[in-house]
Structure 1
Amino acid sequence: MKKYKLLLVTVMLLAFSFAKAQEKIVWEISSGDTAQQRILFRQINNVLTAAPDTKIEVVFHGFAIFAVLNDTGYFHQQILQAHKKGVVIAACNNSLKSRNISKDRVIPEATIVPVSILEIAAKQREGWSYIKAE
């Protein structure tokens, strides 16, 4: 009987720890469409309003790479606000290279990752939820 009680307590503690686990979300955006980017930032704000401790990383690649450049980013203020709230802004180096864009043009708040898909896959291996912005 003691074994069953110990097992039950262990299961309950594990269930409680999973329920209290911090959410971690990696968002992927490849579109240069400003309407889709606007929706992305609204969704990020909605999540952080409902669950302020959520860890978020947004991976910009493809045509979305222009959103994280000093001279072409339409949502620079939203990126700065998200960054101040702890959101990691990741820019794909492959997307920069394929468009002959210098890393110097990337906003200082962004982290440059070698390959967007590998960054997303690594986050998923670490237990992050994946969201494709569309």
Structure 2
Amino acid sequence: MKKIKFLAILYLAGLLLLPRLVLSQDVSAQGPAPFTGARATLGSYKALYVVNSSDDKRVKAALRNIRNALNDPRLKGKLEVELIVFGDGVEIYRNGSPYRTALEGLKEKGVILAQCENTLNERGIRKSELYPFISFVPSGNGEIIIRQHQGWAIVYP
């Protein structure tokens, strides 16, 4: 507090060029305002989640991350999400995978569930071997490139 009063005296005497100081408060006692996270000031947000692994921990993390984003109160009603799957990730969308219920829940919330057709062609997998609610794109990498240039956040859980 003594340093602030001294600086204020110098300022008032015209010997120190500083912005006007608030003399009635002890600045050292005020901490920074508590951090509450970024504010969602835009009208809409878009996120592409990328999965190219069938590792159960990674798949569950991706699905959980998507649910968490959809439930973030700052993004409610403002978020468009796509889950692009390619490579080993194709197992997520296969009939009989343990993720059907979770995927259907995301689909009901408007999440686009997309599968790379290159992966299907390279592995000899028919579209009929995947859940019927899956959409298709020519290539997973192409989808990432296009979405990124459209301003989508690209998330690799």
Range of TM-score over shorter length: 0.7 to 0.9
The structure whose Rg is larger is 2
Counterpart for residue 150 of structure 2: 126
- The number of aligned residues is 115
Shift of 1:20: 2.4
The 5 Å alignment of 1:1-134 reads: 19-50=41-72, 51-53=75-77, 54-71=79-96, 73-133=97-157
Any unmatched runs of 5+ in structure 1?
A: 1-17
Higher relative contact order (CA 8 A, sep 6+): 1
Structure 2: distance between partners of 1:32 and 1:57: 18
Q: Please give the per-residue CA displacement for 1:77-111, whole angstroms capped at 9, x wherever unaligned.
A: 10000000000000011111111101111212111
The TM-score normalised by the length of structure 1 is 0.81
The Cα RMSD (Å) is: 1.3
Q: What is the identity percentage for the equivalent residue pairs of Structure 1 and Structure 2?
A: 24
Shift of 1:19: 2.2
SS state of the match for residue 24, structure 1?
strand
- Extract structure 1 runs of 4+ deviating beyond 2 A: 18-21
Aligned 8 A contact 1:27 1:59 in 2: yes
SS state of the match for residue 144, structure 2?
helix
